[in-house]
Amino acid sequence: MLSRPVLFSKLLSYYSVAALCTIVLIYHFLSLQGRFITRIPGAATIAHRAGIPKLIWYKLGPNGLSEETRNWTDSCIKNNPGYEAQFLTDESSDDYVRKAFASRPDIVDNYLALPVPIYKADFLRYLLLWDQGGIWSDLDVSCEAPIDEWVPAEYKENTTLVVGWEFDQGWPGVYIRQFASWTILAKPRSPHMMQVIDDILETLREKTTEHKISVANATLDIMGDVVDFTGPRRLTRSVYRSLGKMLNRTIDAGEMQELVRPKLVGDVLVMPGRSFAASANNYKPEEEPLLPPKLVTHHYAGTWKNNKGGER
């Protein structure tokens, strides 16, 4: 018969071995799991965030802020003290993309090689909103209402992207509706922003292959209309495409046009033209009482509208 000390010693050894085996199995499982999970840049820093982050993103050109653009950006920054404003330069933008998207060399290489400033500025907004979330604002946009009041309370929980019509109401004949790209709000990791990114890369591959050129030679003449390649029409088409995948049906302007109130389609909140582009939309007298307030004013400075696609 075993004495009590010997029995206790054997039991202790048994449980020690069992515990050690359990630890080894857990470690093995976690190491295998790591092989199959894609590590997304910045994921650890944003996992705790709820809602749209209180960040306002701006991109400076070589000339920095003028008196006008300082006044316009101040209208957003000073009237929204709970928000953090970030101004990126050409250099800090390049550095950010290198680091944040190191696991996507196709994004980094193509972004850095783009030769036209407005292409990079457009691309950058989608990258930032996918990675960090927040609010993208062009420098020529002023705020007309507190940002916390932009999204109606009943939509806040289920909204991951907020866009507003640029052209929606009061235009004669047939025209292409498009979302404004000067003001966009997004939660991090929106699949709609990644769709825009992937669609830009796809068009870039197609055009450079067709013309047998490198990305560094993808000029305005070759890539065509900025609005279509990286701007508002690109944003609009890609959001339709992404929503279509999410909802398993065809999405187009038909179910969200001629709005007088915000409309949630999937997880995308579409704002009436009055919200982000009041000067570009006209409404009937009977519609006026139904409309939300103007949220921003776009001053159409258009510093990119030249043969260089950027500030002179």
Per domain, the residue ranges of the chain are 46-298
Residue 5's region, left for phi above 0, alpha for psi from -120 to 50, else beta, is alpha
pLDDT at 312: 57
Q: Is the pLDDT of residue 7 over 90?
A: no
178 backbone dihedrals φ, ψ, rounded to 5°: -145, 150
Contact 235, 181 (CB under 8 A): yes
Residue 269 bridge partners (DSSP): 162, 264
Question: How much is the average pLDDT of 105-115?
Answer: 98
Q: What is the pLDDT of residue 171?
A: 86
C-alpha triplet 302, 220, 125: angle, nearest 5°: 55
Closest CA to 132 of 198, 195, 46, 196: 46
How many Å separate Cα 160 from the centre of its chain?
10
Give the pLDDT score at 16: 52
pLDDT computed for residue 125 by the predictor: 98
CATH T-level fold of 46-298: Spore Coat Polysaccharide Biosynthesis Protein SpsA; Chain A (3.90.550)
Question: Per-residue confidence at 304, pLDDT binned at 50, 70, 90?
Answer: low
Closest alpha carbon to 56 in 71, 39, 35, 78: 78
Residue 19 has pLDDT above 90, yes or no: no
Percent of the chain with pLDDT over 70: 83
Q: Which residues have CB under 8 Å from 100's CB, separation 6+?
A: 41, 42, 127, 131
46 or 195: which leads in pLDDT: 195
Residue 14 or 174, more confident: 174
Query: pLDDT-based confidence at 29, cuts 50/70/90?
Result: very low
- The whole-angstrom separation of Cα 309 and Cα 312 is 9
- pLDDT tens digits for range 136-172: 999 999 999 999 999 999 999 999 999 999 999 988 8
pLDDT for the residue 50: 76
Residue 245 has pLDDT above 80, yes or no: yes
| Percent residues over pLDDT 90 in the chain | 78
DSSP state of 197: H
pLDDT confidence of residue 13: 54
Query: Which stretch of 43-52, 56-65, 178-187 has the lowest confidence by average pLDDT?
Result: 43-52
Which two tokens mark 256? 């969200």
Structure tokens at 105: 């060399």
User: Average pLDDT for residues 198-209, to the nearest whole number?
Assistant: 98
Provide the 3-class DSSP secondary structure of residue 274: helix
Output the pLDDT for position 241. Answer: 98
Q: What is the mean pLDDT of the chain?
A: 87
Within 8 A by CB and 6+ apart from 310, the residues are: 61, 62, 116, 117, 118, 121, 303, 304
Which carries the bigger pLDDT value, residue 9 or residue 300?
A: 300
DSSP secondary-structure letter at 13?
H
What residue type is assigned to position 271 of the chain? M
pLDDT exceeds 90 at position 34: no
CA angle (120, 241, 48) in 5-degree steps: 70
